[in-house]
Amino acid sequence: MENFSQRITSMQASPIRKLAPYADQAKADGKKIYHLNIGQPDIETPKNFMEAIKNFDEKVLAYSSSQGIPELIEAVIRYYKKYDMSFEKDEILITNGGSEALLFTLLAIADYGDEIIIPEPFYTNYAGFNAIAGVKTVPLVTEASSGFHLPEKEKIEKLITNKTKAILITNPGNPTGAVFTEEEVNRLAEIAKENNLFIISDEVYREFVYNNLKFKSFGSIPDIKDQVIIIDSVSKRFSACGARIGAILSKNKQLIAQILKICQGRLCCPTLEQIGATALYDVSEDYFKRVHAEYQKRRDILYGKLQEIPGIICQNPEGAFYVIATLPVEDAEEFVIWLLKDFDLDGETIMFAPAQGFYTTPDAGKNQIRIAYILNENDLKRAMDILKIALEEYPKKK
């Protein structure tokens, strides 16, 4: 029987994870794989997390509040005060990762057939969650030549219809590594205000901004405070991806109250992970400084090595820990599969995420990959050396 829903059949498989069977087989064949395909940092999770869970001594692991445990909500409030943003308890919901935060937000603000504008390329799950919510993804094309920064106001406004409900952005960007300037943030804020749109701002990479650039949150703009929905997570900030603890923040109390109804339907987030996440917010500022320095070093190493490989075109990323690179091949997905199935260098190979899955525009990104620079210095250098030789040997180059 194959009488499946349109929402599930319209949802694509994750381009980040769909090639996993090839990787599994390569490992079974004895190959070592340098995984640059997924944003799973190798930075050690702060010990605060495990210690807090080990110290849990309640006799019953009970349901917690659907909104989130009070201690974690208070920790999030304190964290945002460091960025001169003031949130109250009834303006925050704790979620099962940033993914649930985004899905619940879409379900709360949009009906079937409504539209969400997203700068393209974008985190592939955005389109997937839109499909689940019955929402049309409207791509706002950005160009690699401009470092994937936003086009002029008029080009953005041309995409707005009477069905448009929100503009969804990641800042700093995944998969692009772009950091929107203060002018770009203000431009989108102005558009949102003039057209009565929500801004859904995924800011999970807030700490990862390089080149002495300044990060500006949409939550810092008073004029649109009731239209801004911030998506957050402990996954990248604290290298705690498996904890699955995220948050929705908005000064729009009515919106938060509406989304809380969905949170009540799924009862609560895991109690132990919330306890561990609460402790994460107690890490010192030195932790963030060390992690920032490490990622900037990795970024510099990766970009330098990519510049040495003939035919590769990319911009130096400004934030997060990703870069989109154009390869001298016709089909990047075929190339990545070839790397896993048919190639190795002394028993080692590499895995990337084909970038076409980060676009909805037909054929866009077909010869691009997203590289996540989440490996240590030596592994990054080795991976890029393997890539250089692989491209020399690949039989399907242009």
Phi and psi at 251, nearest 5°, equal: -75, -5
Neighbour count for residue 152 (Cβ, 10 Å): 8
Exposure b/e, 79-116, CB count within 10 A at least 16 = b = bbeeeebebeeebbbbbbbbbbbbbbbbbbbbeeebbb
pLDDT (0 to 100) of residue 33? 97
Residue whose tokens read 């009070």: 70
Reading the chain (398 residues) residue by residue, the pLDDT tens digits are: 778 988 888 887 776 677 999 999 999 999 999 999 988 888 999 999 999 999 999 999 999 999 999 999 999 999 999 999 999 999 999 999 999 999 999 999 999 999 999 999 999 999 999 999 999 999 999 999 899 999 999 999 999 999 999 999 999 999 999 999 999 999 999 999 999 999 999 999 999 999 999 999 999 999 999 999 999 999 999 999 999 999 999 999 999 999 999 999 999 999 999 999 999 999 999 999 999 999 999 999 999 999 999 999 999 999 999 999 999 999 999 999 999 999 999 999 999 999 999 999 998 999 999 999 999 999 999 999 999 999 999 987 65
DSSP, collapsed to helix, strand or coil, labels residue 96 as: coil
Q: Tell whether pTM > 0.85.
A: yes
For residues 348 and 6, give the distance between their C-alpha atoms in angstroms, rounded to a whole number.
41
DSSP, collapsed to helix, strand or coil, labels residue 176 as: coil
Asked, as a colleague might, if the bond just before 151 is cis with ω within 30 of 0, I would say no
CB 358 within 8 A of CB 370: yes
pLDDT (0 to 100) of residue 39? 87
First to last CA, the chain: 43
For the purposes of burial, counting CB atoms within 10 Å of the CB of 139, is it exposed (0-12), middle (13-18) or buried (19 or more)? middle
In the beta sheet, which residues pair with residue 371? Answer: 323
Structure tokens at 176: 């692009």
pLDDT (0 to 100) of residue 395? 85
CB 292 within 8 A of CB 207: yes
pLDDT (0 to 100) of residue 6? 83
Task: Write the DSSP symbol of residue 227.
Answer: G
For the chain, which domains are there? 6-44+286-393 (3.90.1150.10), 47-280 (3.40.640.10)
pLDDT (0 to 100) of residue 7? 82
Residue whose tokens read 């690699």: 144
pLDDT (0 to 100) of residue 16? 67
Beta pairing class for 322-326 and 368-372:
antiparallel
Q: Which amino acid is residue 5, in one-letter code? A: S
